[in-house]
Structure 1
Amino acid sequence: MRPLLAPALAALAIAGSAQAESPHAAPTVEVTISPELRQKAEQEYGVRDVERLVADLQQKTEREMQRSGVLAGGRIELTLVDATPNRPTFKQLGDTPGLSMSSFGVGGAEIEGKAVSIDGDVTPIRYRWYETDIRNASRTTTWSDAQYAINRFAVHLSLGKAYARR
């Protein structure tokens, strides 16, 4: 059985590398953190929490762009400009005596960047969503609204709805 398995795996590897080099491959997604949010992460939220949001933004954007086929072979460069938690982060709880996980507020996120097509055309991207009703925040986790904003952004981008409006 092993001799049959090796050629099959080799064929899959070749097909996978050919697909990655194809102009129809999903766009590459690069995500950075704005200097302001990085400072908030270091001083207030905790770097680990914000880095998880960055990883989530990259993964969800890649997945949705792969599903839709939009911007095949292109590149997406994003910056997580701001994110606000619904509940205190681990660092905030440690830094502020008396703060409780029962505390809650509205949260959200702001994302900017650009989409670069395979032909080199650059399209600015801007997306911002923050919860406006405190009543929706009482049954949330630490980053619920920021996660919701990231999910909405990824879907809207894959549908062509998150491009910056002039």
Structure 2
Amino acid sequence: MRKLAFFAPLAATLAVAAMAQAQTPTVNVTVGPELQREIEKLGDREVSEQIAGLQAEVAKALAERYPGATANLVLVDLKPNRPTFEQVRQSPGLDPIRSVSIGGAAIRGEIITADGQSRPVEFSYFSPNIRDVWGYSVWRDADRAFERFGDRIEQGRY
């Protein structure tokens, strides 16, 4: 009887862990052809970090709205607000502090829900004006685009 008392809570814990793992969303992000040509100028590491940020934001949103879904996304465009390390290295005349530009990101793809429904998604956000650039980080507007995209997923707009 004591063996059963040990294994029952263990079995329940394993069942809950398996259910949680089955509900974990999958986010696949690829880079569009135009952005692929820009990676060398922006820097591999910087673009990889942005892809990871997009994956994290979308995974969080999918877990809220569509548990167990898969998102297949294409990062079509990505623009920094300030020069990246690679851009400063390639163009020494750029000031990493005072050089400011319109940034943002464009995303398209599909969300496949756990029941097999395919939902096309398309979103882009770029600062409309240089005066509207808000924040001091290199990727603030791209981060804002990812956050807004995640919010739309959570709200069920896709």
Give the superposition deviation at 1:51. Answer: 0.7
Identity across aligned pairs (percent)?
35
Q: Secondary structure at the match of 1:145?
A: helix
* Structure 1 residue corresponding to 2:75, chosen from 72, 80, 85: 80
Aligned equivalents of 1:10, 1:54: Cα separation in 2: 37
Question: Which blocks of at least 5 consecutive residues in structure 2 are unaligned?
Answer: 1-7
Give CA-to-partner distance per residue, 1:89-130, whole Å, 9 cap, x none.
000000012111110011110000101122322111000111
| 1:92 maps onto 2:87 in alignment | yes
The answer to whether the 8 Å contact 2:66/2:114 transfers is yes
The answer to whether the 8 Å contact 2:82/2:139 transfers is yes
- With structure 2 as the length reference, what TM-score do the two structures score? 0.85
- With structure 1 as the length reference, what TM-score do the two structures score? 0.81
Cα RMSD between the aligned structures? 2.3
The answer to whether the 8 Å contact 1:109/1:146 transfers is yes
The answer to whether the 8 Å contact 1:82/1:110 transfers is yes
Question: Which blocks of at least 5 consecutive residues in structure 1 are unaligned?
Answer: 1-6
Change (3 A) 1:82 1:135: same
> Could you tell me which residue of structure 1 aligns to residue 138 of structure 2?
142
| 1:54 maps onto 2:48 in alignment | no
